[in-house]
Amino acid sequence: MTNSSQAPLSGIRVVHLASLGPGPYAAMLLADLGSEVTIIDRTEPMQVSVPYAKDPRRRGQRSISLNLKNADARAVALDLIGKCDVLIEGMRPGVTERLGLGPDECMKRNSRLVYARVTGWGQSGPLAMHAGHDINYIALSGALHALGDPDSPPPVPLNLLGDYAGGGAFVAMAVLAALFERERSGKGQVLDGAIIDGVASLTATTMGMLAAGVWGARGTNVFDGSAPWYRTYGTRDGGFVAVGAIEPPFYAELLKGLGLDPARWTRDDRSRWPEITGKFAEIFASQDRDHWQKVFETTDACVTPVLTFDEATAHPHHRCRGTYTWVAGVAQPAPAPRLSQMPETPPTEPQCPGAQTDAILRELGRSATEIQQLRSDGAAA
């Protein structure tokens, strides 16, 4: 978290009802921009994919552990929410209402509250109450079907498209829009942040190409890895290179680096794509990955090595720009994008659930006796 007054979200208070996937990522983005984020963790921590103390999505944030099934704990949560600008929750529709922490209850306390709801399917629709994960949302949006080799099942693109691009990043953008609108109206609002809506938005260009008749079946398009000049190739040492020589001048640079005659290896005839791909594959496989990096790194052929995460953190370009940072010994992406008036302050390390429980309770006016009672009753931990 950046505490400087130059941070664009300095003074904005965010409460995140601990959730999985996109919710923590949205909270991280807001914390990176200077907001004060407090996580309301559960007294019995959730099963998570990343240990709390190593999870970059918790950087720059505080944590209080509350049992929200307990009335006294809910009262504490409502006190926090009453003083914040943004609430992020990622439960199924209706759960926060049953807890007494739904939009109506919270906005009675705080009419300026931006109440951000993050789900996979959204707050309405036939699937709203069903479970799902990233792969299901990108499948139902059409995005997954467009990926990969036509002779194989679509590949799984990690959980980047749904959870983090269509989910967390879109929700953070909506929060910023709602905060901006609040400056005009003075009122908060409820955000229905559905991952499937965000992923659908990401397909805008592809659907435009489809409508224009320039997007065909899987395996026939430039951007699905079918074109010889927009795909990956294996190298002699078991590595890979990524080729993105879309424009003709870049394609000419690619041919030059590969030692191929441009008069013979023209790119206009799609029926020759398999032949060209085979030739490129043969040449790339004849040398190691780092050889090709040296051949192409000073050209506009748009050929780069396919790096591992560890290699990415050590790449000279990333080192120069500070693309990655280390927090408590954990390599992770630095806050992005960069703002000219925002100081580059390293994020503070992630906190385990409940690390600031007592401090936050004291800030809310609870006495030492009250804090001890909340702990004894299992309301706080």
Residues designated catalytic:
133, 163
**Separation between Cα atoms, residue 154 and residue 354, nearest integer Å:** 41
CB atoms within 10 A of CB 343: 11
Q: Which of 305, 304, 298, 187 is nearest to 238 (CA)?
A: 305
What angle (nearest 5°) sits at the alpha carbon of residue 122, between those of residues 119 and 123? 105
Distance, in Å, from the CA atom of 151 to the CA atom of 185, rounded to the nearest integer, reads 54
Q: Which residues are within 8 A (CB) of 264 and not within 5 positions of it... i.e. 6 or more apart? A: none
- What one-character DSSP code corresponds to residue 66? B
CA 223 to chain centre: 22
The one-letter amino acid code at 87 reads L
User: 């949205």: which residue's tokens?
Assistant: 26
Q: Are 125 and 53 in contact (CB under 8 A)?
A: no
State both tokens at 359.
């401090």
The DSSP letter of residue 145 is G
Greatest alpha-carbon pair distance for the chain in Å reads 85
Contact 148, 218 (CB under 8 A): yes
Look up tokens 């967390």; give the residue. Answer: 168
d(CA 316, CA 331): 15
Asked if 27 and 61 count as a contact pair (C-beta separation under 8 A), the reply is yes
- Of the candidates 4, 8, 63, the one whose C-alpha atom is nearest the C-alpha of residue 346 is 4
Neighbour-count burial of 246, counting CB atoms closer than 10 A to its CB (0-12 exposed, 13-18 middle, 19+ buried): middle
